[in-house]
Structure 1
Amino acid sequence: MSGNAPHPIQLEQLFFVKSRVEAIPNHVPTDSKISSPPRNEISLSEVPEDKGLFSFTMKTTVNQELDKASPYFVEMECIALLRVDDTLSGDEAKRGLTITGHSVAYGAIREAVAWLTGRQAYGALMLGLSVLTPAPAPKTP
């Protein structure tokens, strides 16, 4: 990619389809703000009506078990609409869209969770980093 060329992936839109934050009744504070790390689910699909436009969805859940050691239950779902140009191969595009979508969506989720919990009973919850890891290889019989 040359110095003046535009980036091959562009963010067109970012929005939340679910924003749920609930304070845990009878929360028992501990040294840690959360008892288990956030669980992230991601998906990527091309928008059928618009070639080159992809929908990246990220759902983040915190304290699904409703553990009293964690102050909140959080469930957020964010969608990033990303456009990729035709300079990338299929594999390069998928990789770039996944990395870009993860970065953009998780950043928005972290910010929203901090803002929403900052106005709740137990104070702001700042989510840690989220790291993409390869999916486990399928088991062969």
Structure 2
Amino acid sequence: MAAGNYPITLEQVVFTRSIVVAVLGHNPEQLKVAPPPANSISINKLDDVGRKFQVSMRCLMNENGDVSYPYFIDMECHAILNVDDTLTEEEAHRGAMINGHSVCYGAIREAVGWITGRQIYGQLMLGLSVLTGKPPEAEPEQTTE
């Protein structure tokens, strides 16, 4: 496939939530390793506009404002992707999810790095985010009599 013929294109990226707050009382000398951000992602097909998908990602970190960590972060990013008709519906959905995750998390990661680089405790670069499937449902326990 030629580089110019990729079946998924990005139309728009927007932030609907951009909150990065320096936690007052944080002592950088007592810094704990921050827990990974809690990321959630969803995808919606925009039925009224052809083969467009909206991917939404939210990144939440240090929700309780624990002073062991330098920042409270709550970011939400949305990407609108166009998928051409060379892909099946299943391929279109999967491709939009994978590309939307890359676009949204990349935008969030860049924004957090830029914003925290201008705050009191210095730049925080978020690590990688890995898109995984839902964990398998636990099978019911079997009992023997």
- TM, length-normalised to structure 1: 0.91
Pairwise CA distance, 1:70: 0.8
Larger Rg: 2
Pairwise CA distance, 1:140: 5.5
Given the superposition, is the C-alpha separation of residues 88 and 33 from structure 1 closer, same or farther in structure 2, using an over 3 Å criterion? farther
Partners of 1:37 and 1:30 lie apart in 2 by: 20
Partners of 2:24 and 2:54 lie apart in 1 by: 36
Partners of 1:37 and 1:26 lie apart in 2 by: 21
Aligned to 1:58: 57
Given the superposition, is the C-alpha separation of residues 118 and 56 from structure 1 closer, same or farther in structure 2, using an over 3 Å criterion? same
Aligned to 1:98: 97
* Correspondence 1:17 to 2:36: no
Pairwise CA distance, 1:45: 0.4
Aligned to 1:79: 78
Gaps of 5+ in 1: none
Moved beyond 4 Å, runs of 4+: 30-34
Partners of 2:118 and 2:18 lie apart in 1 by: 14
Aligned to 1:42: 41
Pairwise CA distance, 1:137: 2.4
Aligned to 2:122: 123
Aligned partner of 1:75: which letter? D
How many percent of aligned residue pairs carry the same amino acid? 49
Q: Note the alpha carbon deviations across 1:14-49, whole angstroms, 9 max, x for none.
A: 010000011101002257675210110000001132
SS in 2 for 1:83: strand
SS in 1 for 2:132: coil
* Maintained 8 Å contact 1:35/1:67: no
* Correspondence 1:88 to 2:87: yes
RMSD: 1.7
Aligned partner of 1:124: which letter? Q
Equivalent residues, number:
140
Pairwise CA distance, 1:106: 0.5
